[in-house]
Amino acid sequence: MSPCWNDVACHDHKSVVRFSRLSDIVHNQSPTGRVGRPEDVVETSLFRSGDEGFFVTGVNLVLDGGTIRKMIHVE
């Protein structure tokens, strides 16, 4: 799995300030209108490790909410 930006708590004040400035830019880059959340990674992991994901092999699941596609295909 390749998760992109994820909204997780940062531990130092400088990181929080930097991320909050960057946050609007990053959120606007995603067709979903938001960055990933930890639960997005968890849900994908559960799918992949469960019976439903049994036949999914040899792929890299990109968890980016469509960000890369939007960056490649300018609207």
DSSP state of 63: E
Considering the entire predicted model, what is its pTM?
A: 0.68
- Is residue 40 within 8 A of residue 6, CB to CB? The reply is yes
DSSP 8-state assignment for residue 30: S
> Token digits for 34?
């938001």
Kindly give, in sequence order, each residue whose CB lies less than 8 Å from that of residue 53, ignoring residues fewer than 6 positions away.
Answer: 47
Tokens of 15: 């990181």
CA distance 64 to 69: 9
pLDDT per residue rounded down to tens, the chain (75 residues): 998 877 776 655 565 555 666 667 777 778 888 888 889 999 999 999 999 999 999 999 999 888 877 766 655
Count of domains for the chain: 1
**What is the model's pLDDT at position 27?**
72
Q: Domain residues for 65? A: 2-72
